Structure 1
Amino acid sequence: MVSFFSTLSFFFVFLLCIHVSAAADTISANFTLSGDQTLVSSNGTFKMGFFKPGNSTNFYIGMWYQQLSIQTIVWVANRDKPVSDKNTSLLTISDDGNLVLLDNNNLVWSTGLNSSSSSSALEAVLQDDGNLVLRDDSGSLLWQSFDHPGDTWLPGVKIRYDKRTKKSQRLTSWKNTEDPSPGLFSLELDVSTAYKILWNGSTQYWSSGPWNPQSKIFDSVPEMRLNYIYNFSFVTSDTESYFTYSLYNHANVSRFAMDVSGQIKQFTWLNNNNQWNLFWSQPRQQCQVYAYCGSFGICNDKSQPFCQCPHGFSPVSRKDWDLKDYSAGCVRNTELRCSSRGEINEFLPLTNVKLPDNNNSEELVSTRCRSACLGDCSCMAYAQSSNRCLMWSKDVLNLQQLEEDNSEGSTFYLRLSASDMPSGSPSGKGNKVMIIGAVLGSLGVIALVTLAVVLILRNLRMKRMRGEKSDGTLAAFSYRELQNATKNFSEKLGGGGFGSVFKGVLQDSSVVAVKRLEGISQGEKQFRTEVVTIGTIQHVNLVRLRGFCSEGNKKVLVYDYMANGSLDSHLFISQKAVLGWKQRYQIALGTARGLAYLHDECRDCIIHCDIKPENILLDSQFGAKVADFGLAKLVGRDFSRVLTTMRGTRGYLAPEWISGVAITAKADVYSYGMMLFEIVSGRRNTEQAENEKVRFFPSVAATVVTKDEDIRSLLDPRLEGESVDIEELTRACKVACWCIQDEESHRPAMSQVVQILEGVLEVNTPPFPRSIQALVENDGSVVFFTESSSSSSHNSSQKQSHSSSSSSSKKTTNNNSSA
């Protein structure tokens, strides 16, 4: 009998478990949420429950990604009303037909509906797209979280402008990293169909520009042309306008967020690295965010942290600053006393700054500006501009430190108590005692500072050896550290025009690739500036720069290590496993995406100048990563300058390298087309195959493509028997032929190449490249010019079919070869 009841009890427990499991994504009359209970969407993507951000003691009801190693909150119900105990709090459906959060039976948050439905007929479901919906038993939607976004914009959410109520739906940042209550920064759509970012709901400091229905992008967001991840959609009607997006590949995890930094940021999840990758952000520079450092705070894009208090000031809240919330700004260490005596208050000059916006302007001669501010008790600061005296009587907002050579820089005079001035000294009775005390105090401070510096340097050294800093910036290594990491540069991975690459292991056991640069003649300041620029460029298809070393002529770069090496080792080395067609096509697509990012999405267009299989690295999943970008010249978008030093590698150089015209991003397009032929054929374009005559593969491919012959004849013979998508193969060969056209204007942009390979754009049959045609008519004779581009032999009268140079600018001998 006991056994029977035990079995029966087990059966009922089993049924209860089945019931709870079936309701895992739903809150209903039979299931509520409290303590550690959670909801999980049916596909396992999103989880919802109580969470505690960072070191906070408060609890919130929120939603996050279930399967990611980093808890990333995408929606919070009770943003500004936390609860202190999750075990006494309850998320349930109330008798009045609302989804509510109760804390000891006190209402904390509600969906706020005037519903006539019975609570027993309602349910709240966490859907697979991250939308929490409240619906009745007929399936009618009563409320959804997508209509009330927080700081995160998920695919499918509509950020709208209601033309009837004249109100916008907003994304609003968290206050800081531990407080999800609404912060000062928000993104919204305005009546002119432009997105704008606001400070404090009023001051606009960034705009997307109006929507262009022809190009289907916002005028000030050209990056939208590179929509190989997102399918953007803008809809407008008589009642509303809204912008939404979806993902082309639903296996990707991506989100937009109105960050605590005041920037709108686009992130993609990198499965290989288990981290979020910053794909795009606006404004690009942190100090373009209005009033980011609060009142009297100074913003500097070149410092870490970005915000500093001027001399004589301290942060209003050090705790908030540690949480990257600088909005409270700085406060004077000594309050001002209003007096007519000049020695009571002084003015601290801040040079090379961008003046704050909120000033009171008066037409005064420059000699009277200082005295006018000193005589006005409400005047906090002044500046002189031509014949105008600018004075600030309230908060000083948006103060920015500029570079020394910036023509927009001005001198800003900040009012301080005389005792807080750098040159101030004690006076009056007891002066000697104060001086002695100051000396003893200074000695104590020096001892403490020395100890602090030792600890900081030790900490920084450990971080350098891990190849990173806590704020994500580049690590500065010493040359000896990298010698130890690479065993004195003993394990060589490869080499190129800018130097050799070695395998290294840092102290935390992470593996890196260490590139020892050669022939770099830049000065210290210029080198560091360019390295910092490279370090800010991050994309899923670009190799990430982790750190650098610069000690005299010893200049070294430290990159992420790519487990599968370079593309050439998989295409041209027979001992390697053969790359399948799908892998090759994705490598070609990933490379195009990386180049499109360099050309179109960076602040300055970056021309790689040396695209070839050796510079395409493959991660552990055979994902393509473009290497060595940014090491060539950094060229502005007007392309007005000519790169006079030939760079690149024989067989991949565009004809314009010889002709002496300005080099543009289309030179990379040409090199990419040449490399794409090699990806298709699996061998060098001019390599002799066994039992075959030497042939120049691009000419063969161009003949097949333009005469509509059998496209499979171009495929790597090692892929025989593999199921190959003929449409993809045709697309790749056609776009490669377009890329190697002689005229730059006839070549597509890399963003167009991406869209063609994705199948978004149709590609027409290309014309036979003129230089390739010359090869066919002259029995395939190929002349490689290998002298420096400054040589007199390089002129437009010479045959421009294919040029070559060594990867450096050194002069080499001519090399004539036939194909």
Structure 2
Amino acid sequence: MLLPLAVAVVAILGGARCLASDTIAAGSAISGNRTVVSRGGNFELGFFRPSGSSSSHSYYVGIWYKKAVSQCTPVWVANRASPVTDPASCQLAVAVDGNLELADEAGKHVVWSTNVSSTSSSVVAVLLDTGNLVLRRENNDGEVLWQSSEHPSDTWLPGARLGLNKITGYAQALTSWKSSVDPAPGLFALGIDVNDTKQYNITWNGTMSFWTSGEWNGDVFTGIPEMISHHTYDFDFVSDANGSYITYSLQDPTVISRMVLDVSGQVRQMIWVPSDDEWTIIWTEPHQLCDVYAVCGAFGVCSEKSDTFCSCPVGFRPSSEMDWEVGDHSHGCRRNNPLQCELRSTNRSKVNGKDDDGDAFLLASGISLPRNSTSSPATQASSSRGCGLACLKSCNCTAYSYGSSGCVLWYGGLLNLQRLVDDTAGMDDLYIRLSAMDVPSSSSEGRRNRTIVFVSIAAAVSSILALSAIVLSMLVRMFRRRKQRRMAFIQAASEGGNLVAFEYSDVRRATDNFSEKLGGGSFGSVYKGKMPGAVGEVAVAVKKLEVTGGLLCVGDKQFRNEVRTIGVIQHVNLVRLRGFCSHGADRLLVYDHMPNGSLDKALFATRASSPALSWRARFQIALGAARGLLYLHEGCRDCIIHCDVKPENILLDGDMAPKVADFGMAKLLARDFSRVLTTVRGTIGYLAPEWISGVPITAKADVYSYGMVLLEIVSGKRNARSWTGEEEQRMSDYFPLVAARKVSGGEALVELLDERLNGDVDGRELDIACRVACWCVQDDEARRPTMEQVVQALEGVVAVDVPPIPTSLRALSESENAGFVMSSFNLMTSDSEDAGRVASS
């Protein structure tokens, strides 16, 4: 009776799924299906076989997610290039020399080792809840001898460092898997640029760098401006005498995230979405898969519009169908039949029983010219036929192109071919060299007699059938492009859509050739437009930038990057940027249309033209605008100074909710710098004194402008308006001075209120608004509140003391030349409907 029970106990223990702890100590080992699990249960270490692998005899030691993630997702692999066939006969254990080793056949052969120089046997390996496997001494000091986070595979986990140890010269780098089922090191690597340790590169085959992050500017890498929008992560870059490295953490510890260098060569930030039970890609670099160097291998053609993004041109097939099925396109494509010049070099005259027919060329229709491939011009070739003949003289010549650039010969495997989706008019034609057997011909005799095949547009035009095919192709292409544009508009109009780069012709059509002007400002004019939406038409406002300076001085690429950075900034009290257009000198910004226009029209409209805004509406507008500015100053990764806060830049939606506009024209200010030097911009009447004095500008300049706007919300009149000659001598008419005196003197503030309201006001809110406004317009920026304090005051969270009269206003009232001062001020600020606007950029 005891023997069967003992056998049962041994069987249960032998089949245990995990060891009792997170530690591999001396005398214990991982073998077969036994594993260790981190203390909090986040990660598991053991033998695994990649999902989808066709080989049932390739096993690896790795770390994968234990809980929350249902899919087996390895984050680190030890023996990447050395799989074992029988985990039951292998052991992962701490050896007598203190190293963690993977040995097969009872220790006869070491497959993998930590290779640490240690003579201590009191060493243990511990799997941490961060996914990091550490080898450390077992004594009290717990000195870490080795850790897996410093030897990553293809995955970078939160908290791990990726960089360069300047003392040892060792650099951590992510290396892609060879394929989706083979964790062996692939061709792509992501690591720090050892020549410029403030940026990171992705390289191909250890030599070709095809993507760079740009240098770290204190908050983001300049080549990845969209990092600013990902508030899920906190990135930290450190560079000192010991090393340079970057690390990141998650603001929400419950989120499961990882960064992976994919087999395709893209680095992908991913999060686990439990509701969908799958990994979701947050962002990728490079953005376009076809920008990855040699992503489809030699002669492979990349297409962004296809689910199977790699294909082979006519006359070619994948070099390895099996590798392509698992995402390994590194071997590219090969010809269906070898070139005859190659066969002749091996003294063969027949192929598949056929006579040697020579080589020919076939037009690679709709395929771009190669990039980064070896080429040379053939200046003596004056025609397409002559160019082909020049290529045939060398067996190493694999293709030629002819067109506006003349004759160019291409050698070796063609890299970075791409399927074109836009109009290819004006591009040089590419002809790829094939065996004549793979080039269509009317008869075998004709194929033997021809050494070159040209597909000529002129010949096609001579045929009615060919001409019809061309016309039909053009119509189909036009239809597809229109459909794509329409889908882009729908995406832009739909809630949560990404920023869209519009075609200029589409925006011009949407605005009826910019026929309905909504208004104008210092940076350009705004036009109303209509675009097709998911349900009916959607109204948009298109800002046509018309001045030099600011964004317009930058190149197209920088403009697009800066606009994309602005486009990800979203808040309920900020106007949302839907898209943009950069077409030569034409720069357009497409916003949501605000049906109730700008605040200045609601406040300063002719008394008979529209009813006055109620006090409730005014106070909510003031509070919403303050919240929008607070988000720009504090809610974004970079502090954004608006620089031109005024009623014209506060728009009202259908529910009269305020939306701050034109913040895209402001300078982006890194958090590590409290000030920014810039040229004067904004509008006289709202400009803080530091603009005029030349003192560097901070976010407090926006606070001053907001204070002036708040005074106008109270009074319903412009602070600076036209005076008569008699009024010029009466400085008491200058409303900010009137308000400051009454607030400071504790007088009744209802006299400051717009008379159209007939005293219908919440006295407490009026008192708070006037006090806040007078604090905001203090000359000394140190005495002004922050926008956070402004919001708290308007919400009634904090009390507001009685402010002093600003020094400049007191001096203005006491000036003997008051009339002259106000006359000059009046001259600068009175200007038709947009009184008060004097802007320079």
**TM > 0.5 fold call:** yes
Instruction: Note the aligned Cα RMSD (angstroms).
Output: 5.2
Q: Distance in 1 between matches of 2:479 and 2:603?
A: 29
- Quick check: 1:122–1:135 contact (8 Å CA) kept in 2? yes
Which of the residues 695, 698, 703 maps onto 1:766?
703
- Quick check: 2:19–2:36 contact (8 Å CA) kept in 1? no
Deviation at 1:179, TM superposition (A): 0.8
Are 2:39 and 1:42 equivalent residues in the alignment?
yes
- Quick check: 2:263–2:327 contact (8 Å CA) kept in 1? yes
Matching of residues 524-543 of structure 1 within 5 Å: 525-529=481-485, 531=487, 542=496
- Quick check: 1:741–1:747 contact (8 Å CA) kept in 2? no
Which of the residues 678, 697, 708 maps onto 2:619?
697
Matching of residues 1-20 of structure 1 within 5 Å: none
Question: SS of the counterpart of 1:334?
Answer: coil
Question: SS of the counterpart of 2:331?
Answer: coil
Residue 50 to residue 21, structure 1, CA distance change in 2 (3 Å):
closer
Deviation at 1:235, TM superposition (A): 2.2
- Quick check: 2:19–2:35 contact (8 Å CA) kept in 1? no
Are 2:92 and 1:91 equivalent residues in the alignment?
yes
- Quick check: 1:228–1:755 contact (8 Å CA) kept in 2? no
> Please, which moves more after superposition, 646-655 or 160-169?
646-655
- Quick check: 1:606–1:634 contact (8 Å CA) kept in 2? no
Deviation at 1:345, TM superposition (A): 1.2
Residue 132 to residue 530, structure 1, CA distance change in 2 (3 Å):
farther
The superposition leaves residues 235-290 of structure 1 with CA deviations (integer Å, 9 ceiling, x where unpaired) of 22334322222223322222211111111111223344333222221111111101
**1:319 corresponding residue in structure 2:** 322
**2:280 corresponding residue in structure 1:** 277
**2:80 corresponding residue in structure 1:** 79
Letter in 1 for 2:362: L
Question: SS of the counterpart of 1:74?
Answer: strand
TM-score under structure 2 normalisation? 0.57
Are 2:175 and 1:175 equivalent residues in the alignment?
no
**2:714 corresponding residue in structure 1:** 776
Which of the residues 274, 287, 297 maps onto 1:294?
297
Deviation at 1:180, TM superposition (A): 0.8
Matching of residues 212-251 of structure 1 within 5 Å: 212=217, 215-226=218-229, 228-251=231-254
Which of the residues 27, 33, 50 maps onto 2:30?
33
Q: Distance in 2 between matches of 1:32 and 1:71?
A: 22
**1:395 corresponding residue in structure 2:** 413
Residue 528 to residue 79, structure 1, CA distance change in 2 (3 Å):
same
Matching of residues 454-533 of structure 1 within 5 Å: 525-529=481-485, 531=487
Residue 314 to residue 523, structure 1, CA distance change in 2 (3 Å):
closer
Q: Distance in 1 between matches of 2:137 and 2:666?
A: 46
Are 2:340 and 1:337 equivalent residues in the alignment?
yes
Deviation at 1:96, TM superposition (A): 2.4
**2:394 corresponding residue in structure 1:** 376
Deviation at 1:32, TM superposition (A): 1.8
Deviation at 1:127, TM superposition (A): 0.7
Residue 211 to residue 612, structure 1, CA distance change in 2 (3 Å):
closer
Letter in 2 for 1:526: R
- Quick check: 2:493–2:533 contact (8 Å CA) kept in 1? no
Q: Distance in 2 between matches of 1:427 and 1:265?
A: 54
Letter in 2 for 1:371: L
- Quick check: 2:622–2:713 contact (8 Å CA) kept in 1? no
- Quick check: 1:295–1:329 contact (8 Å CA) kept in 2? yes
Question: SS of the counterpart of 1:346?
Answer: strand
> Please, which moves more after superposition, 773-782 or 603-612?
603-612
Residue 250 to residue 27, structure 1, CA distance change in 2 (3 Å):
same
Q: Distance in 2 between matches of 1:124 and 1:769?
A: 62
Deviation at 1:299, TM superposition (A): 1.4
- Quick check: 1:316–1:329 contact (8 Å CA) kept in 2? yes
- Quick check: 2:391–2:399 contact (8 Å CA) kept in 1? yes
**2:206 corresponding residue in structure 1:** 201
Matching of residues 732-771 of structure 1 within 5 Å: 741-742=646-647, 766-767=703-704, 768=706, 770=708
- Quick check: 2:156–2:259 contact (8 Å CA) kept in 1? yes
- Quick check: 2:641–2:669 contact (8 Å CA) kept in 1? no
Are 2:264 and 1:261 equivalent residues in the alignment?
yes
Structure 2 unaligned spans of 5+: 346-354, 448-477, 500-530, 536-558, 605-611, 650-659, 672-697, 717-752, 758-830, 837-841
Question: SS of the counterpart of 2:213?
Answer: strand
- Quick check: 1:172–1:183 contact (8 Å CA) kept in 2? yes
Q: Distance in 2 between matches of 1:164 and 1:266?
A: 30
Which of the residues 157, 161, 182 maps onto 2:164?
161
Deviation at 1:772, TM superposition (A): 4.9
Q: Distance in 2 between matches of 1:428 and 1:702?
A: 79
Q: Distance in 2 between matches of 1:336 and 1:177?
A: 33
Which of the residues 413, 438, 446 maps onto 2:431?
413
Letter in 1 for 2:82: K
- Quick check: 2:52–2:181 contact (8 Å CA) kept in 1? yes
Residue 422 to residue 279, structure 1, CA distance change in 2 (3 Å):
same
**2:363 corresponding residue in structure 1:** 349
Deviation at 1:192, TM superposition (A): 0.9
Letter in 1 for 2:247: T
> Please, which moves more after superposition, 176-185 or 81-90?
81-90
- Quick check: 1:309–1:330 contact (8 Å CA) kept in 2? yes
The superposition leaves residues 321-371 of structure 1 with CA deviations (integer Å, 9 ceiling, x where unpaired) of 121221111011111112799952111112451323222414422334211
> Please, which moves more after superposition, 257-266 or 247-256?
247-256
- Quick check: 1:228–1:754 contact (8 Å CA) kept in 2? no
Question: SS of the counterpart of 1:96?
Answer: coil
Residue 641 to residue 705, structure 1, CA distance change in 2 (3 Å):
closer
Letter in 2 for 1:353: S
Deviation at 1:197, TM superposition (A): 0.6
Q: Distance in 2 between matches of 1:96 and 1:331?
A: 50
Q: Distance in 2 between matches of 1:263 and 1:704?
A: 41
**1:104 corresponding residue in structure 2:** 105
Deviation at 1:738, TM superposition (A): 10
Q: Distance in 1 between matches of 2:479 and 2:835?
A: 36
Are 2:69 and 1:131 equivalent residues in the alignment?
no
Residue 741 to residue 273, structure 1, CA distance change in 2 (3 Å):
farther
Letter in 2 for 1:61: V
**1:548 corresponding residue in structure 2:** none
Residue 647 to residue 603, structure 1, CA distance change in 2 (3 Å):
closer
Which of the residues 366, 369, 394 maps onto 2:381?
366
Q: Distance in 1 between matches of 2:625 and 2:283?
A: 41
Letter in 1 for 2:481: K
Question: SS of the counterpart of 2:388?
Answer: helix
Q: What percentage of residue pairs aligned between the two structures are identical?
A: 35
Q: Distance in 1 between matches of 2:626 and 2:151?
A: 56
Structure 1 unaligned spans of 5+: 430-521, 546-553, 559-598, 617-625, 660-685, 707-726, 757-761, 783-795, 802-819
Are 2:130 and 1:192 equivalent residues in the alignment?
no
**2:69 corresponding residue in structure 1:** 68
**1:309 corresponding residue in structure 2:** 312
Question: SS of the counterpart of 1:217?
Answer: coil
Letter in 1 for 2:63: M
Residue 82 to residue 208, structure 1, CA distance change in 2 (3 Å):
same
- Quick check: 1:607–1:635 contact (8 Å CA) kept in 2? no
TM-score under structure 1 normalisation? 0.59
Question: SS of the counterpart of 2:63?
Answer: strand
Deviation at 1:737, TM superposition (A): 12
Q: Distance in 2 between matches of 1:208 and 1:279?
A: 17
Deviation at 1:45, TM superposition (A): 1.7
Q: Distance in 1 between matches of 2:393 and 2:601?
A: 66
- Quick check: 2:204–2:293 contact (8 Å CA) kept in 1? yes
Residue 700 to residue 158, structure 1, CA distance change in 2 (3 Å):
closer
Are 2:440 and 1:422 equivalent residues in the alignment?
yes
Residue 363 to residue 703, structure 1, CA distance change in 2 (3 Å):
closer
Deviation at 1:99, TM superposition (A): 0.9
Residue 289 to residue 236, structure 1, CA distance change in 2 (3 Å):
same
The superposition leaves residues 723-759 of structure 1 with CA deviations (integer Å, 9 ceiling, x where unpaired) of xxxx99x989x99999975475997569999999xxx
Deviation at 1:74, TM superposition (A): 0.9
Letter in 2 for 1:192: D
Question: SS of the counterpart of 2:323?
Answer: helix
